[in-house]
Amino acid sequence: MQNSLESGGSAALRAAGDRASLQRAVADRLRSQTKPPGSLGQLESLGERLALLQNTLTPRVEISRICVFAGSHGIANSGVSAYPSLVTLQMVANFLAGGAAVCVLARDAGASLHVIDTGVEGTLDPQLALNPAFFSRSQRQGTRSFLEECAMTPAECDGAMAAGAEQVKLALKDGIEILAIGEMGIGNTTSAAALFAALLDLPPAQVVGRGTGIDTSGLQRKQRAVATALAKHAHPRPDTQPARHWLEAVGGYEIAAMAGAILAAHEAHLPVVVDGFISTAAALVAHSLRPGSLDVCFFSHQSDEQGHRLVLEQMGVSAILSLGMRLGEASGAALALPILRASARLLCEMATFESAGVSGPSDA
C-alpha cells in the first residue's frame, strides 16, 4: 500500500513543494481511513506533522537514535542538588556500560545510543572512552558558577553548540530518520530554570523545582540562586541576542549542545524528540535564536519537575506523554519514539473505507 500511495501523489507533491496541497492530502487520507474522524487523537496530528516535516504523504521514522549530552555545572557546588557533581561522570560511565534507564529504553525502542561529553568534570575510564558510541567534545571540565561569572565563554558556547550540530550531521550520514535528545548534568535543573525565568519573564518560584529531590531548604537556596543570577546578568552586551546572552550566562554545555542540535535539525528537516525539563530549555533557546525551529521538535513528556507544564504552555506546545517522570537522560524521549513510529505507520498503512470495502459514515 505504501508504494501505491507514493506513486499516487506524494512524489509529485514533494517535487512541487506545495505544503498546502500536501496538508489537504494528509487530511483527506486521515478522513478516509477506517475509523471515525479524529478517533486516534494525537496519533493523527503527530502523523500529519511528520508528513509535513518530511514533505511526503508516507513519512518514515523507523531508524532512530538517542543522543545523551553530558556536562558538569559550577552551580552544583552551591547546594542546589541532592547529589554531588561527581555523579555526572559516574552516570556517563553507566550509560556506556549499558546500565542506565535510557540504555534499557533505547534497546526497547530499537534506537542506537550516543553519549557526548560536552564538559564533564573528571576523567573517564580510558577503556570506556574507546566505546564508539562515546564522543569527547569537552569544552571545559564543567561550567563556572553563574553566581560569580558567566557560566561559559562565547567560544565555549560555540563549541558546545557545534557538538550538537555534529550529531545531526552524523545522524543524516547514518540514515537516521528521527533523533531523540536528552542530558545528564548534576545542577542542570537550576540552569534550565534560570533560562526559563529569563527568556519567558517568569518568577523563579514558578520554575524552580526540587530537581534530584532536594529538601525545602535546598529548594529555597535554589530559588535564591536563580534570582541572584537573573539580577547579576541582567545587562547583556549590546551586540548579543538575549537568548545567546542567557545561554552563556546561566546555561550548561549540554544545554548549548542540544540547542545546537535542534538548530541543525531544523535546517535538515530532521524530526527531533525533546526529552523533559532541561531539554525543553534548549528548545526554548533554539526557538529564541531562530523562530520556527520548534517545527522539528516533538516534546516527549511533561516532566514532574515544577514549572514544566507552565513552560510548555508558554511556548505553545504540548507533550505526548505525562507519566510523572523527572529522570532526564532522554528517558521520556526514548518512550515517545515508538509512539511517533506508530503515528507514521498508521498514516501510511491503515486501510481506507474504499480499499477495505467498509461502509463509511452515513449521511443521515
Catalytic residues: 329
The secondary structure element, H or E, covering residue 250 is: helix 242-250
Residue 212, classified by CB atoms within 10 Å of its CB into exposed (0-12), middle (13-18) or buried (19+), is: middle
Taking CA 177 as the corner, what is the angle to CA 251 and CA 41, rounded to the nearest 5 degrees?
85
Residue keyed to cell 580510558: 126
C-alpha cell read off for 316: 505553545
* CB 333 within 8 Å of CB 279: yes
Q: Where on the phi/psi map is residue 203: left (φ > 0), alpha (ψ -120 to 50), or beta? A: beta
Please check whether residue 202 is in contact with residue 217, taking contact to mean a CB–CB distance below 8 angstroms.
no
What is the number of alpha carbons within 13 Å of residue 269 lying toward its C-beta? 10
Identify each DSSP E strand in 240-360 by its residue range: 272-274, 297-299
The DSSP bridge pattern shows strands 134-136 and 112-119 to be parallel
DSSP run (H or E) holding 66 = strand 64-71
Instruction: Look up residue 7 and give its DSSP letter.
Output: I
* Contact by Cβ (8 Å): 297, 274: yes
CB neighbour burial string for 189-208, b if at least 16 within 10 angstroms, e if fewer: bbbbbbbbbbbbebebeebb
